[in-house]
C-alpha cells in the first residue's frame, strides 16, 4: 500500500470514530481515538515493525557507566548510531513497574491511567487490587492465582497500539514479558499479551485475548525451552579486574534469590530436576531475558510480524534486571555482569531482526520503567544518608499520635504503596472530617526518621506546582484508587522491613532518570540530545512517525528527534 493511499484511507475511518465518540451512548473504550485533525502524515513510509524494548529497572547511570564494556551492536547500536536522550525522566513520583509500563505507550500518567502502583488497597475498604488482575479471565493452560494479571481492565487509557489497530485492524500488537504487567500494559486493550509462568516455565496468554493459544505458542512451550537452563552456570562475562567499579559479591545486604549471591552460580543446584522452584529462579538471572527473547523470536515468526505494509508493534519487556537489582543492588558486581549479559543478548536480537525484518524496515526503541536506588547499607559505607523505614512502625507512630488528637482507634489501617489508608468508617462514626484526620496524620508522619514530606488528598487534588515533589506525586495520584495521604521518603531511604536488597519508587533522579534510546535509519537521525524530555513523550512521538493520532489521554509531546547525523 502506498503512503498516499494509506493516509487517505485513515480519514473516513477517523471521521466515523469521531462521530461515535460524540454519541450520547459512547463510553471509554480502546476504540475511542482523537479527532481526525490530530493525524500527522509521516514524512515517509511508516515502518513495517516497531520494536519497543523495555529493560525493567535499568537506570541510565548503568548504561553510561559501563559503556566502555558494551558489545558493538547491543546498547551501542543506539548510543553510536541512533538518537538517544541524555536527560529522559519519568514525570510521576511513585516509580514502580506497573506505573512505568502504563506511561510508555499511552503517554498518560497514573493520574489518568489509574495504574498508580503494582498493587494497591482500596482506600474505602482496604481490599487488595493488583494492577492487571481481572477474575473474569484465566491463564490458558496454567493455574491462575487470585491476583494474577489477566487483562487491561483497570487501565483507563488507550495506547499507540490501540489507536493503530482501531484504524488498521490488520496490524498486530504483541506484548511479551517475564512479568504479567510488563506484557499486558504496553499491549493496551486491543493487543495480545504473553507472560512467563514461573510455575511451569511456559509463556501464556489469558482468556481475555483468546480461548486457545496459536499453534506457534503451543510448539514453543512443548519444546520446554526453560529446561535447557537447568544446571547451567551464570558465570562472569569478563575477568575480575573489569568489575573493579562494582561492589563485590556476597555482601551481607545482598539477598539470596535461590541462585545464591555469588558468581559463578549454578541454576537448579540442589534440585532433582526442573520444577516450579527452578522456573521461578530463572528470572533473577540472565537466562530469564534470554528465554523471553527466544519467545519474542517465536512471536515474530509465528505472527509474521513486519512482513507486510501494515505496521505491527512488538513490545518486549525484559524483567530480569529488576529482580537482580532488587536482590543485589544496582551497585553490585552481579547487576553489572547481568547488564553485560543483557547487552550481548540484545546484540543477537537486533542482528536477528536485521536479517528477518530488514534493518531498513523497523524502528527500535529502548527504555526502562524506572531506575533504582542504591542499597541503603552500601550507601551508608559511602557516607550518604540512607536507611529503611519499617511500615508497621511508621503506622504505629501515626496511630498513637492520632489517638491523642481524636481518641482511641486504629485510624491508619495500613500502607498502600507509599501511601497511608484510613478507617473511613471510624472517621465517620466519630463525626470527624476526613481531611482533618489526613492533615493531622501528615504532620505526624513527617516526624518519622527518613520521611521528607507527605501530601494530603486536598493537596493532591489542588493545583499547587511550587511545592517540591507535589506535582510529581499528583501525577501518581488517582482519586478513589490511590491512598489519601502520600508519603515521600528522603533520598536514599525506602520503606521496608527486611535489611536486605533495595528498591525504587521515589521521585528522585536515581529512580526517575532512565534510558530513552531510538534507532531506525529511515526515520531517526543520530546523536545525543541534551534537552530534558519525559517518557510520556514516547507515545505521541511514535504516533507522529506512524501518521496516526496520539492516544487521546496522552500528556506528552513529540520528542525532538535528530533529523540527520551529528
> Which of 128, 133, 165 minimizes the C-alpha distance to 149?
133
Q: At a CB cut-off of 8 Å and minimum separation 6, what does 499 contact? A: 253, 377, 388
* Contact in structure between 243 and 317 (CB atoms under 8 Å): no
| 389 Cβ contact partners less than 8 Å away, ≥ 6 residues apart | 448, 449, 450, 451, 489, 493, 494, 495, 496
For cell 562494582, name the residue: 246
CB 474 within 8 A of CB 468: no
Q: Which residues are catalytic?
A: 97
Q: Max alpha carbon distance in the chain (Å)?
A: 73
Q: Is 105 left (phi over 0), alpha (psi -120 to 50) or beta?
A: alpha
- Binding-site sequence positions for substrate: 118, 179-181
Q: Compute, in degrees rounded to 10, the torsion defined by CA atoms 51, 197, 109, 421.
A: -170
**318, 52 Cβ separation under 8 angstroms:** no
Q: Is the peptide bond preceding residue 449 cis, with omega within 30 degrees of 0? A: no
Question: How big is the chain by its Cα radius of gyration, in Å?
Answer: 23
Cis peptide bond upstream of 369, omega within 30: no
- C-alpha cell of residue 347: 546484540
Yes or no: say if 401 and 444 are a contact pair by the CB < 8 Å rule. yes
Amino acid at each position: 500500500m502506498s503512503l498516499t493511499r494509506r493516509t487517505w484511507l485513515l480519514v473516513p475511518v477517523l471521521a466515523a470514530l469521531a462521530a461515535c465518540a460524540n454519541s450520547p451512548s459512547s463510553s471509554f473504550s480502546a476504540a475511542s481515538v482523537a479527532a481526525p485533525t490530530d493525524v500527522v502524515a509521516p514524512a515517509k513510509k511508516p515502518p513495517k515493525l516497531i520494536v519497543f524494548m523495555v529493560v525493567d529497572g535499568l537506570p541510565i547511570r548503568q548504561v553510561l557507566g559501563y559503556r566502555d564494556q558494551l558489545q558493538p551492536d547491543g546498547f551501542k547500536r543506539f548510543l553510536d548510531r541512533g538518537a538517544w536522550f541524555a536527560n529522559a525522566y519519568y514525570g510521576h513520583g511513585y516509580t514502580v513497574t506497573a506505573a512505568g509500563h502504563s506511561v510508555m505507550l499511552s503517554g498518560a500518567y497514573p493520574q489518568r491511567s489509574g495504574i498508580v502502583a503494582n498493587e494497591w488497597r482500596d482506600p474505602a475498604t482496604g481490599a487488595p487490587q493488583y494492577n492487571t488482575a481481572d477474575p473474569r479471565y484465566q491463564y490458558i493452560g496454567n493455574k491462575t492465582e487470585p491476583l494474577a494479571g489477566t487483562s487491561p481492565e483497570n487501565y483507563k487509557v488507550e495506547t499507540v497500539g490501540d489507536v493503530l489497530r482501531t484504524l488498521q485492524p490488520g496490524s498486530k500488537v504483541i506484548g511479551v514479558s517475564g512479568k504479567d504487567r510488563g506484557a499486558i500494559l504496553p499491549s493496551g486493550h486491543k493487543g495480545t499479551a504473553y507472560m512467563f509462568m514461573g510455575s511451569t516455565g511456559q509463556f501464556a496468554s489469558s482468556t481475555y485475548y483468546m480461548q486457545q493459544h496459536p499453534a506457534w505458542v503451543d510448539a514453543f512451550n512443548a519444546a520446554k525451552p526453560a529446561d535447557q537452563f537447568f544446571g547451567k552456570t551464570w558465570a562472569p562475562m569478563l575477568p575480575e579486574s573489569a568489575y573493579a567499579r562494582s561492589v563485590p559479591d556476597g555482601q551481607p545486604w545482598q539477598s539470596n534469590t535461590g541462585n545464591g549471591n555469588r558468581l559463578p552460580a549454578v541454576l537448579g543446584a540442589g534440585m532433582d530436576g526442573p520444577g516450579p522452584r527452578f522456573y521461578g529462579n530463572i528470572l533473577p538471572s540472565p537466562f530469564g531475558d534470554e528465554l523471553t527473547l527466544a519467545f519474542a523470536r517465536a512471536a515474530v515468526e509465528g505472527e509474521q510480524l513486519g512482513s507486510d505494509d501494515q505496521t505491527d508493534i512488538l513490545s518486549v519487556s525484559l524483567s530480569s534486571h529488576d529482580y537482580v537489582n532488587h536482590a543485589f543492588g544496582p551497585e553490585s558486581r552481579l547487576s553489572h555482569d547481568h547488564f553485560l549479559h543483557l547487552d550481548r543478548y540484545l546484540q543477537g536480537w537486533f542482528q536477528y531482526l536485521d536479517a528477518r525484518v530488514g534493518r531498513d524496515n523497523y524502528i527500535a526503541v529502548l527504555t526502562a520503567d524506572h531506575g533504582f536506588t542504591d542499597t541503603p547499607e552500601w550507601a551508608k559505607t559511602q557516607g550518604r544518608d540512607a536507611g529503611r523505614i519499617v511500615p508497621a512502625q511508621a503506622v504505629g507512630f501515626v496511630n498513637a499520635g492520632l489517638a491523642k488528637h481524636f481518641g482511641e482507634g486504629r485510624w491508619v489501617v495500613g500502607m498502600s504503596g507509599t501511601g497511608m489508608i484510613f478507617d473511613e468508617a471510624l472517621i465517620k462514626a466519630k463525626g470527624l472530617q476526613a481531611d482533618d484526620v489526613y492533615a493531622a496524620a501528615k504532620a505526624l508522619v513527617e516526624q518519622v526518621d527518613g520521611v521528607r514530606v507527605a501530601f494530603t488528598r486536598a493537596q493532591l487534588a489542588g493545583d499547587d506546582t511550587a511545592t517540591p515533589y507535589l506535582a510529581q506525586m499528583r501525577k501518581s495520584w488517582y482519586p478513589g484508587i490511590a491512598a489519601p495521604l502520600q508519603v515521600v521518603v528522603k533520598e536514599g531511604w525506602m520503606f521496608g522491613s527486611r535489611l536486605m536488597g533495595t528498591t525504587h519508587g521515589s521521585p528522585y533522579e536515581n529512580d526517575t532518570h532512565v534510558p530513552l534510546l531510538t534507532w531506525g535509519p529511515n526515520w531517526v537521525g543520530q546523536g545525543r540530545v541534551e534537552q530534558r524530555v519525559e517518557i510520556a513523550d514516547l507515545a505521541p512521538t511514535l504516533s507522529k512517525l506512524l501518521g496516526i493520532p496520539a492516544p487521546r489521554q496522552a500528556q506528552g509531546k513529540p520528542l525532538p528527534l535528530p533529523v540527520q547525523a551529528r
